[in-house]
Chain A
Amino acid sequence: MRTARPIGLYVHVPFCQHKCAYCDFYSVVTLEAMERYVEALCREIALRAEFGAANAEVVTVFWGGGTPSLLTPAQVEQIARALSETFRFASDVEWTIEANPGTISMDKLRLYRQLGVNRLSFGVQSFDEHELRFLERIHTVTEAEEAINSARAAGFDNINLDIMYALPGQEPQTHKRNLERACRLGTDHISAYSLVYEPGTPLYTRRQRGQIIPLNDEQEAMLYAMTVAILEDHGFRQYEVSNFAREGKQCRHNLLYWHRGEYVGFGPSAHSHWENVRWSNVRNIHRYVEALERGELPIAQKEQLSELEQRTEYVFLGLRADGIELQSVVEWVGSDHAGDVLRLIEQWAYAGWATIEQGWIHLTSAGYALCDALTVELLDVLDRAHEAIFTHR
C-alpha cells in the first residue's frame, strides 16, 4: 500500500478594492479581469493533475491575496470544484480563506462553510479608526467586529486575526488595546506583524521622503515583547516570530511552509515547492491569463535547491518557527566543527535567546526578536564548516 504524500495548496486571489499602504503582495484594484482570472485559474489547477497522480493528499488549503472574499459565490464554487476534481483531500484538511471585514457577508460565510472551509483569517490590523485610515484599510472597527461575530454565528471555530503594530508614533497603550480587543473577540489565532516598510509601497516612499518617522529598534523591541506577554496572558502560545495560537489552533498551512513541506500554488505570483524545486508564477494578471489561455504554465522562476540551500532553509525556517534539531545540524558540520555549533548555541542559551529541550533548539521570545541576526550567526558557522570540509577534500 502506498502511503499518502501530504501537500498544501495555495490559491492567490490578486484583487483588492483598494491597495493598503503597507502591502507588497501582488494585487490589482481593477476587477474587470476577475472572470478571465477564474477561468485561467481553473485551467492551471487542471494542468496540475500530476500531483494528484503522485498520490499527494491535500492536508491544507489556503486562499490568500489580494482579497479572496471579493470573489462571488459562484466563482468560489467554481474554484473549489476545480480543486476537488484534481486533488484528493485528507478527511481532516485545514482550509483557510483570507477575508477583508469590508467585503464579507453572511451569505458568503455560509457558502464557505458549506464548501468545507474551516478556518478564516481576517485582515483586521487594528481596532483604532485612526490607524486603519493610516494603513488605508477599507473597513471600520465596527465592521471588523461584526465580521468576526458573523463568522462565529456561521459556525467558524477557527479564526485568525492579523494585527499590525509598530506604526509610526504608535503608543504602547494603543497596541495593548488592539491586542486585548482581538483576544476578547474569541479569536483562536493571532498573527501580529510589526510594520515592515517594503520597497515599492506608499509607506516606504513616505518614509524615504522623511514624511513619516519609523519607530526605533528599542521601541519596536518593546512593543514586540509586550505582544508576546499580552498574548501569552490570554492563553496564546507563540509558535513563530509573528504567530500565536490557542491550543490545537496553530495554522497547519503555515507550519507546512516552515517545515519545508511540499505545496503547490495557483494564481499570479503564487509559489510552489515540490521535490526540492521551488518555483513561482508570473506576477502579472494579464501574462498569467494569457499563458494559461495558450495552455502553458505561467511559471516565472524555477530553482533546484542545492543540498546547502536545503540546509540553509531548514535552519532559517526552523529558527523562525518551532525549532531545529541539534543532531542534524551537528551531523552536517561533522565532528571537527560540532564544537563551534555547540559553543554558539550555548552562548544563545546563556543570553536567554534559545533553549535546548530534548535535542531541539527553540528560540525564546527574546531570541525571536533577534531571529535574523542569530540565523546569520549560525549559518556563518555552518558555512565555515562547509568550506573547511570542502577544502579538505
Chain B
Amino acid sequence: MASLIPMERYRNFCIIAHIDHGKSTLADRLLERTGRVTARDMVTDQILDDNPLEQERGITIKLHAVQMDYTARDGRTYTLNLIDTPGHVDFSYEVSRSLAACEGALLVVDATQGVEAQTISNLYLAVDAGLEIIPVINKIDLPSASTMIENVKAQIIDLIGCKEEEILLASAKAGIGIEDILEAVVHRIPPPTGDPDAPLRALIYDSLYDPYRGVVVNVRIFDGTLREKDKVLFMATGQVYEVDEVGVLYMEQHRTGVLSAGNVGYFTAAIRRVRDTKVGDTVTHAQRPCREPIAGFREVKPMVFSGIYPADSDDFEDLRDALEKLALNDAAIHFEPETSAALGFGFRCGFLGLLHMEIVQERLEREFNQTIVTTVPNVRYLVRRTDGTELWVENPAQMPEPVKIAEIFEPYIRAQIITPTEYIGPIMQLCIERRGTLLGQHYLTQTRVDMAVELPLAEVVFDFYDKLKSISRGYASLDYEYSDYKPGDLVKLDILLNGDPVDALSTIVHRQKAYEWGRRLCSKLKKIIPRHLFEVVIQAAIGSKIIARDSIAPLRKNVLAKCYGGDVTRKRKLLEKQKEGKKRMKQIGRVEVPQEAFLAVLSLDDQS
C-alpha cells in the first residue's frame, strides 16, 4: 500500500521546458524506464498529452500527474510523483500551483535551441517556490548539438548559478541519460516534509470532470491524512463534501483509500463542477481544520474577452448547453448571456488569454459541434466617468459616450522576449508600434538577449505573437505576466453600415491609431461584404465623428443566362444554395454581413 512507504522515499517533481524542447518525450521515457508503461503502450508519442488539441499544438493544457516506482542504484525503491505543468503563458497561475506541489524540477533545455523566454519565467517561478532545480540538456544526439552544448551550459549556469557538473546530458528520444536523471531526482531533490497526524492540509493543483463520479480533484498532501468518508472543507469556497474515493495516479486512477502527507493523488466527492474546486485552494478536514490555508491562492480572473454567438440564432440554447458542459471541465472560462443588435443572443466569454480563447472555440466546434461566430477579443477596461463613478467594461459596445468619460485605464503586461541579437531592431520596432516601453535588456550570451518590455495587453491581443515570430523567423520567444492598469488615450471606434452601427464590430483603440485603424477596417470590410442590390456605405466613427468611409457599389448583374432547358430542378437548387448563403449571414439593417467580417480586425495587416 502506498501509505506504508515512508515519507523520505517520496520525490515530487515536475519538468520545466519550452515547447518542443522534449518535455513530453522525456516524461514518456521516465514512465517507460520505471515500468509504468511498456514500450508497446507508446503507440502515440507523448502519453501525457492526451487531448488531441494538445497533441496537435505540442503543448500541455490540462495538468497530469503520474506516480512511478524506481529502484535506485542504492538498492532502495522510491516513489516518484511527476506532476506535469501547462506550457503556456495563459496558464502561469496553474504552473505556480503545480510547482508548489513539488520539491524539485527538471529544467529541460534543447541542446540546439538554448534557453527560451517561457522556460525562464517558469524557472523563476520554481526558484521562488524553493524548488531544487536539476538542469538537463536534451537532444544531445542531434548533429548540431555538439557545437552548442557548451554555450547552453553557460546559459544555464548564468541563469541558476549551478556548477557545470550538475548539468545532466540526455536524449529523451534516444534514451540517453535517463537513468542519471532518475538518480538525480532521488538524490538531489529533497523528500517531502509534513506530519501525517497533523490537521489535513492538501493543495488542489488541478481538477477534471468525470461524468460518472463528478470532479476528480488532484491534490498534494502537505500535512495530515485523507481517507474515504472524510468530511472535507474547501477553504476558499467554504464548501464541505464527503470524500467518496481516494487514490494515486498511475497512468489511470489507482484507488488506495488513503493518502497521507508528502504524497500526491486524487479524490472524488460527488462535486458537480470543476469551478467548485479552485486551483490553489486548500482542502482540510471539516471537523479538524488546519489553522492556515496554503499560501498563494488567488481567484483566476479572465483577461481577454470575446462574444461567442451561435451562427444560427435558433441555436442559442444549444450553445448555452455546450458552454455549461465545457465549463464542467474548464474552471477558467467565464460566460454570461449578452445581446448584440448585429448577432442576436450570445455570450460574453472571459478567457485567461488568447490561447485559452482559441482552445475554447475549438472545443466548442469539435467536441460540441457548435457553429459559432466570435467577435474580436478585447481586454477589460476601467472607465472613470465624469461624475466620478467607475465602470468595468468587458465589451466595447458598453463603453459610455465620449463626453461621459473622464479617463480610461487599460491593463498592461510585462513581457519577456528572448531573441537572437540580430532581431532586436525589428522587435523594438514592433514593440514601439504596439505602444511598448523597453524596461531593460540582458545578454544571456553574446548572441542572445533577454528583453523586458511593458506593453498594453490590448496590443498583444492582436496577433502580436504571430508578428514576433514572423519578424524573428520563429527564433524569438515570448512570455509575459500581467502588471497593472494604466491610463490610456483610448477611444471607441464604431463601424456603421448604411448608417446603422454594428455593435459587434466596435473596438477600443488608441486615439492616434484610430484613423489608420478605421481606414483599414473599412477597406477590409469592403472586401468581405458582398455586393448588394443597393450601395453599401461603410463608415468608421468615433462618437458622432466619421473618420473613414468606403462603399460597395450595388450589384449590376446577378442572373444565370440559361435556365438549363427543362432541367428546372437544377436551377431551383442553385437558387436554394444562394438563399442558404444569404441565411448564414448576419443582418445589419438591410445589409447582410458574412460571419468572417466579425473577426476582420484580427487580420487587418493582410496586404491585399
Contacts and interface: CB of A to CB of B under 8 A. Distances in A.
Interface of A: 10, 25, 64, 193-196, 217-218, 220-221, 224, 240-242, 257-258, 260, 263, 265, 270-273, 278, 280, 301, 303, 309, 312-313, 316-317, 320, 351, 368-377, 379-380, 383
Contacts of A313: 568, 572
Which of B565, B566, B576 has its CB near the most chain A CB atoms (within 10 A)?
A: B566
A371 B559 CA distance: 5
Contacts of B4: none
A309 B572 CA distance: 9
B70 to A, nearest CB: 62
B562 interface: yes
Contacts of B533: 351, 370, 373-374, 377
Interface stretch (B18-26, B460-468, B550-558): B550-558
Nearest to B530: A373
Nearest to B577: A376
B213 interface: no
B568 A273 contact: yes
Interface string B564-580: 01111101100110110
Given A221-B556, A373-B555, A312 B563 contact: no
A383 B533 CA distance: 20
Contacts of B556: 217-218, 220-221, 369-370
Which of B557, B561, B563, B567 has its CB near the most chain A CB atoms (within 10 A)?
A: B557
Main secondary structure of the interface of A (DSSP, over half): helix
Contacts of B572: 309, 312-313, 316
Contacts of B561: 193-196, 241-242
Nearest to A215: B557
Contacts of B582: 376, 380
27 contacts: A193-B562, A196-B560, A217-B557, A220-B557, A241-B563, A257-B563, A257-B566, A270-B566, A271-B567, A271-B569, A278-B568, A303-B569, A309-B572, A312-B575, A312-B576, A316-B571, A317-B563, A368-B559, A369-B558, A369-B559, A370-B558, A372-B560, A372-B575, A372-B578, A373-B533, A373-B555, A380-B582
Nearest to B556: A221
A257 B568 CA distance: 8
Given A64-B565, A193-B562, A271-B568, 17 more contacts: A217-B531, A220-B557, A241-B559, A257-B563, A257-B568, A258-B563, A272-B566, A273-B566, A278-B568, A301-B569, A303-B569, A316-B572, A320-B563, A370-B556, A372-B575, A373-B558, A380-B579
A273 B568 CA distance: 9
Contacts of A301: 569
A95 to B, nearest CB: 16
B575 A376 contact: yes
A218 B555 CA distance: 9
A101 to B, nearest CB: 20
Contacts of A368: 559
Contacts of A371: 558-559
A196 to B, nearest CB: 6
Contacts of A375: 575
Nearest to B580: A376
Nearest to B534: A351
B512 to A, nearest CB: 38
A2 to B, nearest CB: 26
B49 to A, nearest CB: 41
Contacts of B569: 271, 278, 280, 301, 303
A374 B579 CA distance: 11
B578 A376 contact: yes
Interface string B458-486: 00000000000000000000000000000
A60 B561 CA distance: 23
A242 B555 CA distance: 19
Contact of B555 (A241, A320, A370): A370
